Structure 1
Amino acid sequence: MSADHKKKCKSGQSIRDLLVEIERSYGFIHRLLDEADVTFRSRGGL
């Protein structure tokens, strides 16, 4: 995962937004972000 995608996720872009952009599965992107030590937001958006 590029540093640019990691930065986008940290700035609030969702995994679903990234999967459309880079044409990969949700699980693939989630795993890469997890390996890059990205802190995930809680579920439900609240």
Structure 2
Amino acid sequence: MLGIRVHIKGPARHKIAAELKKAYDKGASIRTLAHGCGRSYGFVHRLLTEAGTTMRTPGGPNSTRRTAR
């Protein structure tokens, strides 16, 4: 756990971002990553963006959204 309210800067931030990116690229959701590290969805999303992650479309494999016709 990273701990809430702890500012993460420099090399530690880059390391955590790289680890989150690796897990996200393997299929983990942002919510799962956020829960696992004890941080908010927004924090994890921000780190993934900083790490240059290509984000998936919302919904995942269990989405009930209709596809475009």
TM-score, normalising length from structure 2?
Answer: 0.59
Query: Given that residues 21 and 53 in structure 2 are in contact (C-alpha distance below 8 angstroms), is that contact kept between their aligned partners in structure 1?
Result: yes
* Matched residues, number: 46
> Displaced runs of 4+ in structure 1, greater than 3 A?
none
- Structure with the largest fraction of helix: 1
In structure 2, the partner of 1:29 is 44
Between 1 and 2, higher relative CO (CA 8 Å, sep ≥ 6) is seen in: 1
SS of residue matched to 2:59:
helix
Structure 2 gap segments, 5+ residues each: 1-15, 62-69
What is the RMSD computed on CA atoms of the aligned residues?
Answer: 1.3
**Percent same amino acid at aligned positions?**
50
Deviation per CA, 1:21-40: give whole Å up to 9, x if none. Answer: 10000001101100100011
TM-score by length of 1: 0.84
Query: Match of 2:56?
Result: 41
Larger Rg: 2
Give structure 1 stretches of 5+ with no counterpart: none
